[in-house]
Amino acid sequence: MDSHDSEDPKQNTADMTAFVQNLLQQMQSRFQTMSESIIAKIDEMGSRIDELEQSINDLRSEMGIEGSASPSLPSKSNDGPDQGSQ
């Protein structure tokens, strides 16, 4: 019985070590998967922001081309009457 008892702790230690190593490998794999997923989503978000920024710039240039005289004229005409009434 003494020889059987002395082998159990060694076997338990080996089993526990294998279990912990397996668990750590699974955790590392999951973290790697999550990390890749997060990076992919950040890249996608960056692309969407770039597209949004380009759309805003396109709208600004369209407004500047189509209405370049309109926004400046009302502001100047507003300045004139305001100054005349004061």
pLDDT tops 90 at residue 6: no
Residue 84 contacts by C-beta under 8 Å, 6 or more apart in sequence? none
Structure tokens at 83: 């100054």
Identify the pLDDT of residue 34.
98
Q: What's the predicted TM-score (pTM) here?
A: 0.53
The pLDDT-based confidence of 8 (bands split at 50, 70, 90) is confident
Q: How much of the chain exceeds pLDDT 90, in percent?
A: 58
Residues 13-55 pLDDT 10s: 999 999 999 999 999 999 999 999 999 999 999 999 999 999 9
